[in-house]
Chain A
Amino acid sequence: MDAQNAAQTTTAQTAAHDRDMRPVLDAQDIARVLTRIAHEIVERAKGADDVVLLGIPTRGVHLARRLAAKLEEITGTKIPVGSLDITMYRDDLRMKPARAIGRTEIPGDDLDGRLVVLVDDVLFSGRTIRAALDALGDLGRPRAVQLAVLVDRGHRELPIRADYVGKNLPTSLRETVKVQLQEEDGRDAVLLGQRTPQATGQQ
């Protein structure tokens, strides 16, 4: 069921499908949500001194960079930000053709003793985050790991929850949630639509 990071449909299909999708968050909503999450991180980490943000490719990385910029505005210090590719740790690797691997970039020396905040766009089955936790285990021993997501659409298949949620979006399994970001898609939006047999690239 975990369709996150699934292969994208062709541009034409995607464009046709986007018109049928209902916007849930627009660019301003996303900016406000990220500002709130940044404040929550500072509040809970009591200053965000040892915070490291790790985005999960592809859109999680862009969100992590935006969060880092907002944290820097709030705290005045530079927050290390990197990426954590989970492809090699997925539990559904054998169910699809071998996927291209994303980039894992750990900022600074290591993660030992740091507060790692994982950042992803959509929290769905929780399997991506399970894979991310496994991947983190091979990279070091953080003091704690927290999770920030832009959208939590429910339907968890594992005992995982997010610490910071941009928007709780109750969905049915027949619906798809799609996050678009300026860096990747040319605009900021969260779209909700109906799952169609062709639209396999949705989340």
Chain B
Amino acid sequence: MKRHLISAADLTRDDAVLILDTAEEMARVADRPIKKLPTLRGLTVVNLFFEDSTRTRISFEAAAKRLSADVINFSAKGSSVSKGESLKDTALTLEAMGADAVVIRHHASGAPYRLATSGWIDSAVVNAGDGTHEHPTQALLDAFTIRRRLVGRDAGLGKDLDGRRVTIVGDVLHSRVARSNVQLLHTLGAEVTVVAPPTLVPIGVGSWPCEVSYNLDEVLPKSDAVMMLRVQRERMNAAFFPTEREYSRRYGLDGDRMAKMPGHAIVMHPGPMNRGMEITAQVADSDRCTAVEQVANGVSTRMAVLYLLLGGSEPAVATGNAPAPAASRPSPATTPERGAERRPFDAEESK
């Protein structure tokens, strides 16, 4: 039985709209005196985090707890993984503990796919970010935020993002958020443009369902939503741009640039924000910036994903038929810092 969420590309338009509609109802639970539903009682969700990510982990944790699932947090630091355990042995351990779903964040692209398809575990696998590949729940919550802001809470039910123009700005090369968003927003009918310095545009972007631009000022007046990506300083060791100051000047969003956007347009940021780098404090604190809303929407969206994958006898969304990520798109499937680390996932692959 296929029941995984590995890539945003696996979702059909109807699947995606069902998740967004379900998330809309889940969001209403947050307004109640008792913010809890009994739906996943007795099920165990394991958060398996090989990379640090406090916000994604607590978002999944809050989502699972609001649905009454038991949550086990497993982080690589200070665990058996730091003692050299392979992904397979970790997976078998989780299976033995009776995990019904594994939410995995891994520094290697393709690790969730490997976990889901290797036959090591029976549980559902949810990709919470793998290497530079995908981060599908982030794309879903971004689409949810766009639909809420641009179409409306109730007016948006059952609707996609047909014809909305979304611009994604920044380090597209290393960004799994950008990859997932391009796929999902395209599926939902939006017109996506990615804007980045030429050095931060991945090879093979021509096969993505989006436009590419190197000039932010030209694109802004034609955007309904502008998504600023975090400049990942930890990945900038290869000097992708001359100085931070130059990057900020050409690709940062400040008050003057925001003024060029249409009146209804919103500014999005997946967080954490580097104020003064890709976004100024003036923009980050304006009411057009949805960064905080995105966090709240993240919990609702992840509740919807967990419910639709685990709530019934079989998942309501047909996910998990993904081809191997490396084969599906010619994106760089390696992260710069990988070589220096232990790679339990690769060790398994080469056995």
Q: Which residues of A are in contact with B by a Cβ distance under 8 Å?
A: 85, 88-89, 93-104, 110, 134, 138-140
Q: Is the CB of B313 within 8 A of A85?
A: no
* Residue pair B38, A89 in contact (C-beta under 8 Å): yes
Contacts of A110 in B (CB 8 A): 33
Q: Contact: B315 with A98, CB < 8 Å?
A: yes
Q: Are B38 and A97 in contact (CB under 8 A)?
A: no
Most chain B C-beta atoms within 10 Å of own C-beta, residue among A94, A98, A103: A98
In the complex, the answer to whether B32 meets A138 with C-beta atoms within 8 Å is yes
Tell me if B32 and A139 are in contact (CB < 8 A): yes
Asked whether, in the complex, the Cβ of B21 is within 8 Å of the Cβ of A138, the reply is no
In the complex, chain B residues whose CB is within 8 Å of the CB of A97: 312-316
Specify the chain B residue showing the minimal Cβ separation from A139.
Answer: B32
Q: Are A103 and B25 in contact (CB under 8 A)?
A: yes
Cα-based distance from A88 to B28 in the complex (angstroms): 13
Q: Name the A residues within 8 Å of B32 (CB-CB).
A: 138-139
**B interface: dominant SS:** loop
B33 near A139 with CB under 8 A, answer yes
A85-B25, A88-B39, A104-B28 given; A99·B34 CB < 8 A? no
**Closest CB of chain A to B158's CB: distance in Å?**
10
List A contacts of B39 (CB < 8 A): 88-89, 93
Bound Cα distance A102, B313 (Å): 19
Q: Are B313 and A100 in contact (CB under 8 A)?
A: no
Contacts of B18 in A (CB 8 A): 100
**Known contacts A100-B22, A101-B22: does B34 contact A138 (CB below 8 Å)?**
yes
| Distance of A89 from chain B, by nearest CB (Å) | 6
**Closest chain A residue to B304, Cβ basis:** A101
Q: B345 near A: Cβ within 8 Å?
A: no
Sort A-B residue pairs by CB-CB distance and give the 9 closest, nearest first: A98-B312, A98-B316, A98-B311, A97-B312, A138-B34, A101-B25, A88-B37, A88-B39, A97-B314
Within B153-200, which residues are at the interface with A (CB < 8 Å)?
A: none
Across-interface contacts of A99 in B (CB, < 8 A): 311-312, 316
Give every chain B residue within 8 A of A85 (Cβ-Cβ): 25
A-B contact pairs, 28 of them (CB 8 A): A88-B39, A88-B307, A89-B38, A94-B312, A95-B313, A96-B312, A96-B313, A97-B312, A97-B315, A97-B316, A98-B307, A98-B308, A98-B309, A98-B311, A98-B314, A98-B316, A99-B312, A99-B316, A101-B22, A101-B25, A101-B26, A101-B307, A102-B25, A104-B25, A134-B38, A138-B32, A138-B36, A140-B33
B33: A residues at CB distance < 8 A: 110, 138-140
Closest chain A residue, CB of each to CB of B35: A138
Residues of B within 8 A of A101 (CB): 21-22, 25-26, 307
Q: Which residues of A contact B37 (CB under 8 A)?
A: 88-89, 138
Question: Which B residues are in CB contact (< 8 Å) with A140?
Answer: 33
Question: Which chain B residue has the least Cβ–Cβ distance from A90?
Answer: B39
Given contacts A99-B316, A100-B22, whether A93 and B311 have CB atoms under 8 Å apart is yes
**CB neighbours of A102 from chain B (8 A):** 25
Given A85-B25, A88-B38, A103-B25, 13 further pairs, Cβ under 8 A:
A89-B37, A89-B38, A93-B39, A97-B314, A98-B307, A98-B314, A100-B18, A101-B25, A138-B32, A138-B34, A138-B36, A139-B32, A140-B33
Whether B25 and A93, one on each chain, are in contact in the complex, defined by CB atoms closer than 8 angstroms, is: no
Asked whether, in the complex, the Cβ of A94 is within 8 Å of the Cβ of B313, the reply is yes
Which residues from B are CB-within-8-Å of A104? Answer: 25, 28
The smallest beta-carbon distance between A82 and chain B, in angstroms, is 12
Shortest beta-carbon distance, B308 to chain A, in Å? 5
Q: When chains A and B are docked, how far (Å) is the Cα of A139 from the Cα of B33?
A: 7
Chain B residues near A88 (CB-CB < 8 A): 37-39, 307, 311
